[in-house]
Amino acid sequence: MGSDLTFLSATDQADGIRQRQFTASALLRACIDQVERLNPSLNAIVTRTFEEAQVRAHEADAALSRGEIWGPLHGLVVAHKDLFSTKGVRTTYGSKIYEHHVPEVDALPVERLKGAGGVSIGKTNTPEFGAGSQTFNEVFGATCNPYDLTKTCGGSSGGAAVAVATGMVSLADGTDLGGSLRNPANFCNVVGLRPSPGRVPNWPDNLPWFPYSVAGPIARTVQDIALAMQVMAGPDPRSPIALETPGSHFAQPLKRSFQGVRVAFSPTLGGLPVERAVLDVLVESAEHLRRIGCEVIDEDPDLQSADEIFEIWRAWRMELRVATLPADRRHLLKDTVIWNAQQGEPLTGPQLSRVESRHADLFHCMRRFMERFEFILAPVNQVVPFPVDVPYPTEIEGVVMEHYIDWQKSCYRISACGNPAISVPAGFTSTGLPVGVQLIGRHRDDFGLLQLAHAFETVSPAARRRPPGA
């Protein structure tokens, strides 16, 4: 079956294993073949655990023959972002400082994916400490876009998006602070969900109360995202902000009527510069939403304060992260990480108090806006995939980007609001580069957002287009 097997949805793969149409071992062999064939040019999987995976797949097959099912992901092939600790497996965080680091525990998302039957084949590439939406680092190098090897795959969950897009894995995990699940999903024509803070708990975490950075899944379909969320979501006593809704909530049917549902169409999210190719796909996507019954209305939420809120809190977080590193090793950090940490060093109590007050105002502003609209349609990124050897865009439509995260405002403005958001495939440029769209839901309405994304997916053909040669 080869690549045809690897490109089945994760949902269909799971059903096929349970119905004994094929074995977990057969799926694993097909995925490993994809890695062996494609990864040398893409660099998505940077640490391999193939031998352990083969043992695990064999055990999954033996368990099924006894009538035992480990969980919803029984026998599915998964990989873990190199920001997540993996017990006994090298975890570098994309940094030379941790090049040979081997943790003693699994991070909670890893623990849950494995516990539900996932077969792990290794770690996916990420920029140093997840800083930036371009996946490259001094340990492993850059990860390329599967639709054009000269272009970036985005980031920081870039390796995860590429592995999913090319059928190397069934599902992958990732993180999203300023767009790190949505951005690479957008650039690689797959689906990336930024859940509500607390929806997918994480541990270990030196900032367990920090609401902006979240864990979540990347998959080829929205239904597969829901499958992953059945496992990844739900409370855990190790996370103080974990929401109480169990993961089983995401096992409900995704199909619903959207007749008359109001969607705000915000193609520039309040005046951001956006490339023409992105705008063209957004306009077409608004028509797709109208086809499923939505009432799509041009209107922008007021997100002007989100920039300051996000940038200050990111700088504070980065300074804290760098301050915990060995002093004699900090010189190994990339320049943008050092710069971002330096932005956090002079922050004062009054500054943090002011930004937290503005954060409260932003929440209520968005809450009132979403009382009139159930969803928002917006760009994921303001640009299409750019050259892989360019660290970040320095200008968009003639507007200069002041620093390395400035071009990510279309994502991080939503991060500051705390609303769930998802990137779904929506179209392609004239040169064959993927363009996704960002759908944004009401506060903590992750499931409703998946329902809309699923309905959108049924009328948008973009997701069915594989990378060349995959």
Query: Among all residues, which ones are annotated catalytic?
Result: 81, 156, 180
Q: 152, 154, 163, 195: which is closest to 78 by C-alpha?
A: 163
Are 269 and 290 a contacting pair, CB within 8 Å? no
188, 193, 194, 198 alpha-carbon torsion, rounded to 10°: -150
- What gap in Å lies between CA 113 and CA 82, rounded to an integer? 15
Q: E strands, 196-352, where?
A: 214-219, 262-265, 295-298
Identify whether the C-beta of residue 410 lies closer than 8 Å to the C-beta of residue 379: yes
Q: How many CB atoms lie within 10 A of CB 172?
A: 30
Long-range contacts at 247-253 (CB < 8 A, ≥ 24 apart): 249/447, 250/226, 250/446, 250/447, 250/450, 251/72, 251/226, 252/447
CA 254 to chain centre: 20
**What span, in angstroms and rounded, lies between the C-alpha atoms of 175 and 393?**
22
Q: 232 near 173, Cβ under 8 Å?
A: yes
Whole-number Å distance between alpha carbons of 214 and 235? 14
Q: In angstroms, rounded to a whole number, what is the distance separating the alpha carbons of residues 160 and 128?
A: 15
Q: How far apart are CA 453 and CA 423, in angstroms?
A: 9
Structure tokens of 200? 């997918």
CA distances from 465 to 147, 188, 468 (A): 10, 11, 9
CA–CA distance, 121 with 115 (Å, rounded to integer): 15
**DSSP of 205-227:** -S-TT-SS-EEEEEESSHHHHHH
For residue 262, list its beta bridge partners.
295
Q: Which residues pair with 395 in a beta bridge?
A: 400
Q: Which of 171, 188, 177 has its CA nearest to residue 232? A: 171
Neighbours of 249 (CB within 10 A): 16
